Every structure is written in structure tokens, then in C-alpha cells.
Amino acid sequence: MIGTGRLAEALIDRFHKNNERVYLLTGRREHLPVRRHVFEQYNFAYDDDSVKDIFDSVKPDITIFTGAWDSHFDWDRARQESVRYTAALINILTVYSMHGKGRFIYLSSQEVFGGSFPKNIPEGQEKAPKGFRGMAVSQGEDICANYRQNQGLDIRVLRLDHLYCVPQKGRPHLDPCCAMCLEALKSGKIFASDRDVFSMLFVKDAAELACKAIMAPELPQPVYHISSMEEINGLELARLIQTSMGSGIEVIDESVGERHRVVLDGGAFSGELGQKIFTHYPEGVKQVVQFMKRNREAFIRAEDTGGSRLARFLHGSRIFIATLVPYVENVICGVLFFLLNGYAAGNGFFDRVDLFLLYVLLFAVAMGQRQAVLSGLLASAGYCLQQMYTRSGFAVLLDYNTYVWMAQLFIVGMVVGYIKDRLRSLKQESEDQISYLEGRLNDLAEINESNVRMKENFEIQLVNQKDSLGKIYEIASTLERQAPEEVLFTAVRVLSRLMDCGASIYTVANGSYARLFSSTSKEAKELGYSIDYTAMPGLYSELKERRVFINKSMQEKLPQMACAVYSEEGMELIFMLWGIPWQRMTMAEANRLAVIGQMVQTAVLRANRYLDALSSQRYVDGSRLMAGDAFVQLTRAFLRAQDQGLTECALLEVPAPDGDCVAAATALSGSTRQSDYMGSVRDGVLCVLLSNTSAENAGFVQNRFRAAGYESRLVEGVEL
């Protein structure tokens, strides 16, 4: 185990229950108390050369680097700490690769995703960290991936979603729950927003789930998300804390701005290893609140508003005493030097040493001009007092040598004290300037990230010409060259490519229902194969007015964007887009979708008119039975689309009684949908193409055929 903190402690306890022997590398040179249940503890820095000797001695089966959750790293100075973090990880991975045995676990966090995501974030989502801490954690994942790919090592990355825990005394954990609790203890107020949506995981649950992945013999993925997937927003969390803390806590709603949602998708982990969350938000938040409330003195300063009157009085007293101590020290030292000077008087060895001058210089060099003035006054008083041992006070005051000595004393003390104060001021100014510049650097880095995103967007639009209208027209014009049966399959590919997201096309069957024709991803099928689009008020009202629908409220059961294609008869097609990031849901994207829709509409209407013109040649005697060549051509188009993942289809063969396929097609019309097709490619055999139907679901249609008195069998496309 490499790292310290609450997660490391929870993992150590969990491994101890499994009777595993745990060795701990703390990352600190100082001797720390040995952690309970640790077999051997090594107090060495992560980048120390001795780490190799530790690996050679221990020969670990599993090496766990707590990474993002290691309390050893202090992220107040994130830029400098990110360098130390990366250097530590590289040193440990290098030693691990030289060791060449066992498994390496890197514990990451949700900070590798800095944007807002309307859907739960899967493991394959491209990382976009913000800030030095997030970039350091993300870079750690990349380093692990490089070692895994180049050297074939067993390295796994576990991303923990917003870990929260009962913090250590005086050391609040970096999570929303602890931050709000600390804010409540200090000021009695919690500022929260319901626009900030996330999912939290209690440390004990995190340790339990992480242990499953660590001990699993084999896992197909190198990266897994561990998340409770229980959404909560900032306002809901603040009210849970308010309830647990009792009266006196005010929640202030700051719900303004764009919605920011980061929830990791732990579906892959749950499906392969199983997942059960034991500590839900009410219990977990209550534990954190009760501990921090019980130990509030360890978390808040006396000058904070949340401090008691006695604490503020004691804090003021401590400040007064701390301010007074240097002056008391000066007075005490003045008395000591007065006695020492009296003892040294007449001693030949110390006769030429001016102890009062040394006293003034000492405090001028150590404490500055103010203490030099006080020490000069005390030294002058001591000098005059000693001179009065042999002369009268009046004679001492009339002696010009006394004033020359005093002037010498004050000049030296004031000059040295001024230099000391000036150096101290320059040092403080330098530190303040460095702190200011670091803050400016962080601001500029954030601004630069925004500029880079804008630059990349403009590059995509202008340089690469992927979003230009010319490119859109060039790609959409390919629809004109497609066979009429394949126009919509090509259209969904064009739509997905140009909009850079998942896409689906629904054909309008009647006044209220639409049927899924084609889609490019699993997410694009979420609404189902058949939908009542008029029952979706936000979507339907926009499509009815021939406007582009934008899902600004981020409703889960609706696409991010949608538009409709119309003909003279009314609405024919609905284009839906899925998986678009929040920042891309703009009017520019809506206009681009509208342009694509208009271009696709031209090709679709042309294909429909062409097919209508040939309907007498394509269909037999005005029935739903298609001619053999037309049916074969249509079926091949569906099968090609199915191979490309754009649709699903099933093909049934039905023996026609007396070889009359027209009668069989007429009899079975009521058992099929408008989007299904019938044709005859062999004498006496009726073929039925079921669009957007899997082989498993085709069984329901076969049952309906059987009820109508017709037997059928499922056939492969090659048989056709």
C-alpha cells in the first residue's frame, strides 16, 4: 500500500479482514506512528532510491497507489505539487516494472472529467481535466496506460466518484460534504446550488468495491468506474447537512447559471463484479456532520464567526500575548545585559567590549527597528544608571560623552533595524507577488483552456471544414447517388458524422406514432422502437412549429436535439441526436441540424417519389406483396445496414396454401406493421421482412401468423 489518508486506512482494514499482509509506504521521512493492522511500515519519500530496496525486500503481489486520494500530497500549491505527484508515480512505476511481478492499482477520481455531462460518464469517455490537480491525476492514468501497453504489465485504474468520509481532526477532506459542513460550522450558513449535480461514494463502500476489483483474477477492461450512481445536487446535500446539524444553520440557494453534472457510470463494474451500496447519503452525511460538530474546535479557528465568545476572547488574548512576548523578552534581555555589563566593568578582558551595543545590535538584527528603539532606550537607561554609581545624576546628564554614546547606539540600532525591516518587507512582498502571480497563472490556465476549446471548435469549422456548409452539402449530396432503398440508412450515418454524436431516424406512421427506422448507437434507441411523439409536450410543440428541439432542461427520456422532415402530406421523419455535451447544445448546432435536415429532406422526397412512381412495378395487383426483384433489393439494403449496426431486421418464410402468395399476403397484413415488407422470391413461398426486429422478437410475429393459420420459419439473409 502506497499512501496515507482515510481511503488507505479503510483499505488496510478491509485487507486485514481477509488475513492479507499489508506493507505501507507513507511517503514521509519522519517517523510516524505505525498504523494499526500494518505488518511493516516504511517512512520513505516516494521518489527515494530506497523504494527499489523496499520492493526487492517485500516482493508485493499487489501494489496500490492511492494517488488522487493520498493525503500526503498538499494541493494548496497545486502547480508545484503536481510535479511532485508525477515524479513520485513515475519512480514507483519504474521500480514496479523492474520488479516485473504482481498487479499495480492506480486510484483515480472524477476530477479527470472537468466538463458537464448530461448522461453518466462511461469509462471510454475522453478525459477533459481542469486545474493542476485534475491534470496531474489524468496524467497519472496516461502514465499507467503507457507502462501497461509498452511493457505488458497488469495495471488497473479505478476511478472513484466524489469520495466522502469522516475526516481526520483538523484536516477536512476535499469533498462537497466536508466543505459544506466546514462552511456551516464557521458561518452558520451553507451556500448551495441545485445546478451542481454529482454522485458521492462513502469511503467504506469505496474500499469494499475497490477490493473486489483489486482481488478479481481477471477483468476485461483496464479502467473501471466505481460510483454509487445515486444523483444528488448541492441544494439537496445542504439540506441533509442542515437536518443533521439541527437548528441555527441557514441554507442559501444560489441556483444560477448553467447546469453542471458529473456522475460516473459504474454499470460495467456492477455488471461484472456486482455492487451493493451500504452507506447511503442520509447515513453517511450524518456520520460526517456528527463527527465534525463534535470536534468543531479542531476544524474552525477562533476568529471564525462560528467560534464561541470564549473562543474568540481566548484567541484575542493569545494574539495580545503573542504580540507582547517579544517586548517582554527585550526587557528581560536588557536586564541581563545590564547585570553582565556591571559584572564585566573593570575586567581587562571585557574592558573594550560594549555589551550594550551588542545588545542593541542583537535585537535590531533579529527583530527589526521597533525592538532596536526599545533596546536602545533600555541600554541608555542602564548606561546612565551604571554611571551614577560613581557620579551624580546631574553630572551624567551634563556629560556630552553620554549623548555621543547614545547617538552612536541609536544610529547603529536604527540603521540595522531598518535594513532588517526592509529585507523582511521585500521578502513578504516577494511572497505576496508569487502568490498573486500563481493565482493569475491559475486564472490564465483556465482562460487558456476555454480559448483552446474555442480554437479547436473554430479549427473544426474553418480549417478542417468538417462543419462548414460546403462540407455538409458535399456529404449530404452523396444521398442523391444512393439507391432509393438505402437513402435513410445513409442519412443516419451522415447525420451522426456531421453532428459528431449518436443519431436515430424515426418514420412517422400516422398522426401520433413514429417507428424507429435506423440508429447509430445503443443510446440512440433509448426511446424504443415505437413512440407516441405527441405525448412528449416539449418535443412535439417544437417539431409542430417546424423548429429544432433543444433539450435545455436535460430531461432523461428525451433526445438532446431533434428536428422533423416534412412533405406535402405532413411530417414524415424525425431526426434525433443523442450524447451531445451540454456546451454544444447551442443555436449554432441547432441551425446546423436544420440545414442537414433540409438537405436530407430533398434526397428522401426524391426517393419516395421514385418509389411511388414505380409502385405498379414493385407491387403485385395493388396488394402489399412486392415483386421478387424489388423485395430482394430492399432486403439486401436492410441486411447491409444491419451489418453496419444501423438497424435490426428478421426474415421469415411462410409457405402459401395452394401457392397463392397474394392471398397469403392479404391474410397476414393485419398481423404485420406498416414498416414490414412482404415479397415472393420463390413460387409458393411468401417472405416477410420485419424491420427493427431482432431474431428473438420475431417469435411474437410467428405466433400471430400461427394464430392466423400460417406456419413460418426464420431464415438467414444468405438463403434469400
Q: Are 178 and 167 in contact (CB under 8 A)?
A: yes
Q: Give CA torsion, residues 219, 222, 228, 233, to 10 deg.
A: -170
> Does 19 have pLDDT greater than 70?
yes
Task: Determine the pLDDT at residue 617.
Answer: 60
Same domain, 53 and 107: yes
Side by side, which strands form the sheet with 154-160? 62-65, 103-109, 154-160, 223-226
Residue 580: which CATH number?
3.30.450.40
Across 175-197, b (16+ Cβ under 10 Å) vs e yields bbbbebbbbbbbeeebebbbbbb
Same domain, 490 and 558: yes
Q: What is the tally of structural domains in the chain?
A: 4
Residue 223 phi, psi (nearest 5): -125, 135
> Does 304 have pLDDT greater than 60?
no
Residue 197 within any structural domain of the chain = no
Question: What is the rounded average pLDDT for all residues in the chain?
Answer: 81
Domain ranges, residue 678 = 616-719
Least confident of 189-193, 362-366, 435-439, 454-458: 454-458
At 574-606, the pLDDT tens digits run 889 988 877 777 777 888 788 777 777 777 766
Segment (H or E) for 80? helix 78-99
Residue 77 within any structural domain of the chain = yes
Q: Please state whether the predicted TM-score (pTM) of the whole model is above 0.75.
A: no
Task: Determine the pLDDT at residue 317.
Answer: 76
Task: Determine the pLDDT at residue 451.
Answer: 62
Task: Determine the pLDDT at residue 454.
Answer: 59
At 330-346, the pLDDT tens digits run 888 888 888 877 776 66
Which of 374, 407, 431 finishes a domain? 431
Task: Determine the pLDDT at residue 464.
Answer: 44
> Does 273 have pLDDT greater than 60?
yes
Across 687-708, b (16+ Cβ under 10 Å) vs e yields bbbbbbbeeeebeebbeebeee
Same domain, 396 and 508: no
Task: Using alpha carbons, select from 571, 628, 565, 575 the residue that is nearest to residue 601.
Answer: 565
> Does 226 have pLDDT greater than 90?
yes
Same domain, 74 and 145: yes
Residue 448 within any structural domain of the chain = no
Same domain, 641 and 605: no
Split at pLDDT 50, 70, 90, the class of 463 is very low
Q: Are 221 and 268 in contact (CB under 8 A)?
A: yes
Split at pLDDT 50, 70, 90, the class of 263 is very high
Listed in sequence order, the DSSP H helices in 302-399 are 309-344, 355-367, 369-387, 393-398
Interatomic CA distance for residues 67 and 168, integer angstroms = 18
Split at pLDDT 50, 70, 90, the class of 475 is low
Which of 563, 584, 613 finishes a domain? 613
Q: What is the mean pLDDT of residues 110-121?
A: 88
Which of 594, 613, 632 finishes a domain? 613
Same domain, 601 and 648: no
Task: Determine the pLDDT at residue 433.
Answer: 83
Task: Determine the pLDDT at residue 712.
Answer: 85
| 613 or 677: which leads in pLDDT | 677
Interatomic CA distance for residues 313 and 334, integer angstroms = 31
Same domain, 325 and 416: yes
Residue 21 within any structural domain of the chain = yes
Interatomic CA distance for residues 72 and 28, integer angstroms = 8
Residue 687: which CATH number?
3.30.70.270
Interatomic CA distance for residues 704 and 693, integer angstroms = 15
Residue 135: which CATH number?
3.40.50.720
Same domain, 61 and 39: yes
Task: Determine the pLDDT at residue 351.
Answer: 62
Same domain, 153 and 25: yes
Same domain, 391 and 490: no
> Does 365 have pLDDT greater than 60?
yes
Q: What is the mean pLDDT of residues 144-158?
A: 91
Interatomic CA distance for residues 525 and 523, integer angstroms = 5
> Does 708 have pLDDT greater than 80?
yes
Could you say which DSSP state residue 308 is in?
Answer: -
> Does 64 have pLDDT greater than 90?
yes
Same domain, 575 and 640: no
CA distances, 278 to each of 23, 204, 269, 286 (Å): 28, 9, 16, 14
Task: Determine the pLDDT at residue 11.
Answer: 92
Q: What is the mean pLDDT of residues 401-406?
A: 81
3-state helix, strand, coil in the chain (%, to 5): 55, 15, 30
Same domain, 589 and 659: no
Task: Determine the pLDDT at residue 202.
Answer: 93
